[in-house]
């Protein structure tokens, strides 16, 4: 192979690494913090969770006066027609008997046999209006009103816990898609640069084969490498496009998708101690807040069931709204169920078991969350150590690529050796970017398991390693 041709080929093949690493996202950038703000503002899932919170909060406000006095005004306008049929036959018979008992001279008087008709119909028709005001005031309900209000408030707390959990899950999803899009784009650029350089080498190899300075088997190997590079580049490009679409769907971006401006990151220093994260999780994890809300609901149900077994005392009153001779009534009533078709004792015991269930669920949840936090904490540290341990492999790949490039230029190496060096160079850089991505995802999962997902931006800002 002529020296000038070898030098030109080596320079073309080695330039792809510098080009790939120098490329950065477009100028229209979006930081992680800005992306998180967009997700919180536009997420339908988060909005639905917040609507559930608002529903229970407003319901609680609507029931805040439960158990207090209530006053109602009622009125009516009516027209009536009443008929009454009265039989007069008994009167006629009585008069006939009385006439027979008169003295003989009086019996000859012209008294009719039936002085009255056999029946008489009385009819009354009129129109009128009526209005009254009434009031009731439960004086003692056995705690039923407090139980209902407490139940709704506990349901609002559960909805709030669900909303916080939804928020934390969205934060983790954003980390996966935000930095996943960067990882896929970086891999696509590396693959595309590799394909472009292999394509140049394929053209040079064809000329070298025609000149008789390259064996046919080596030419076929270069062609096979070209097709493999083409497939890898296309697959990486498809993966990058899909990752970009996933990020756009998460951000609900209108128009062109902004490029992720915050690069993959890593902190070379270990995380703070595990116990601090466990303590934070046991204080702030939304799952524990939900279990606590479930327990409060069970306690209020138990209180309500007990209230139904107690007497109820209430005051009442009603007054007609008219100027004269207004009717009114006022008093105090008591109601106490002495016998019921339901077994109230068993029902009370059943609600008490809900309390026991919530207590046991809380204990299990604390154990599970502590284990989850420890797992995620170890995954973060594992990714950190792995990234740092990959530095010698990166240095080695860089040095081998430099040596293979020089060897090809001097005629002491082969093109296939240079292609292998380039492939290894791309591989170690992709693997290192993947490790940085694993670190970001593991950190997001750790913060989610502690209820600290809002702190992700602070960890990104404190990172001392940026994978540009």
Q: What is the pLDDT of residues 335-388, one digit of tens each?
A: 888 887 778 888 888 888 989 998 999 999 999 999 999 999 999 999 999 999
In angstroms, the CA 390 to CA 138 distance is 75
Q: Which two tokens stand for residue 152?
A: 């709704």
Q: Which two tokens stand for residue 297?
A: 């609901």
* pLDDT, position 116: 65
pTM over 0.85: no
Q: CA-CA distances (angstroms) from residue 95 to 92, 106, 111, 112, 195?
A: 5, 14, 10, 10, 131
In angstroms, the CA 140 to CA 137 distance is 9
Q: Are 311 and 302 in contact (CB under 8 A)?
A: no
CATH class of 3-69+141-467: mainly alpha
What is the residue-wise DSSP string for 19-45?
Answer: HHHH----SSEE-HHHHHHHHHHH-HH
18 closest CA partner among 183, 185, 197: 197
Strands (E), 220-281: 259-260, 264-266
Q: Which two tokens stand for residue 360?
A: 């046991």
* pLDDT, position 25: 37
In angstroms, the CA 446 to CA 441 distance is 9
118-146 burial by CB neighbour count: b if 16+ within 10 A, else e?
eeeeeeeeeeeeeebeeeeebeebbbbbb
pLDDT lower than 50: segments of the chain: 1-27
Q: Where are the domains of the chain?
A: 3-69+141-467, 71-76+84-108+116-139
Q: Are 309 and 348 in contact (CB under 8 A)?
A: yes
* pLDDT, position 15: 40
* pLDDT, position 109: 57
């Amino acid at each position: 192979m002529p020296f000038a041709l070898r030098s030109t080929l080596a320079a073309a093949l080695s330039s792809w690494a510098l080009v790939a690493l120098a490329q950065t996202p477009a100028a229209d950038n979006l930081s992680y913090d800005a992306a998180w703000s967009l997700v919180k503002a536009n997420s339908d899932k988060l909005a639905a969770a917040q609507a559930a919170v608002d529903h229970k909060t407003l319901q609680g406000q609507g029931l805040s006066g439960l158990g207090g006095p209530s006053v109602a005004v009622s009125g009516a306008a009516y027209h009536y027609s009443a008929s009454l049929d009265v039989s007069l036959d008994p009167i006629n018979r009585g008069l006939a008997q009385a006439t027979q008992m008169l003295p003989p001279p009086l019996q000859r008087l012209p008294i009719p046999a039936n002085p009255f008709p056999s029946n008489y119909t009385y009819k009354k028709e009129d129109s009128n209006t009526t209005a009254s005001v009434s009031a009731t005031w439960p004086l003692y309900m056995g705690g039923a009103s407090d139980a209902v209000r407490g139940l709704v408030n506990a349901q609002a707390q559960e909805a709030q816990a669900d909303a916080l959990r939804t928020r934390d899950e969205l934060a983790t999803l954003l980390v996966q898609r935000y930095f996943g899009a960067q990882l896929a784009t970086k891999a696509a650029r590396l693959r595309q640069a590799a394909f472009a350089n292999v394509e140049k080498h394929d053209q040079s190899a064809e000329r070298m084969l025609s000149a008789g300075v390259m064996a046919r088997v080596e030419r076929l190997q270069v062609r096979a490498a070209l097709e493999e590079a083409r497939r890898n580049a296309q697959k990486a490009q498809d993966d990058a496009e899909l990752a970009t679409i996933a990020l756009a769907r998460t951000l609900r971006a209108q128009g062109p998708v902004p490029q992720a401006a915050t690069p993959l990151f890593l902190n070379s220093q270990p995380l703070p101690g595990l116990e601090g994260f466990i303590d934070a999780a046991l204080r702030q994890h939304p799952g524990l807040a939900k279990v606590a809300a479930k327990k409060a609901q069970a306690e209020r149900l138990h209180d309500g069931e007990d209230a139904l077994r107690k007497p109820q005392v209430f005051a009442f009153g009603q007054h007609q709204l008219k100027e004269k001779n207004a009717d009114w009534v006022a008093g105090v009533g008591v109601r106490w169920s002495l016998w019921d078709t339901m077994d109230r004792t068993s029902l009370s015991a059943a609600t008490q078991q809900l309390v026991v269930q919530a207590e046991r669920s809380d204990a299990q949840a604390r154990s599970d969350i502590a284990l989850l936090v420890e797992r995620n904490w170890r995954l973060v540290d594992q990714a950190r150590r792995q990234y740092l341990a990959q530095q010698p492999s990166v240095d080695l790949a860089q040095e081998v690529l430099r040596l293979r490039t020089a060897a090809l230029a001097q005629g002491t190496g082969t093109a296939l050796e240079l292609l292998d060096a380039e492939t290894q160079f791309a591989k170690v850089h992709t693997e290192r970017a993947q490790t940085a991505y694993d670190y970001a995802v593991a950190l997001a999962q750790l913060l989610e398991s502690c209820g600290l997902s809002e702190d992700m931006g602070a960890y990104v800002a404190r990172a001392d390693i940026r994978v540009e």
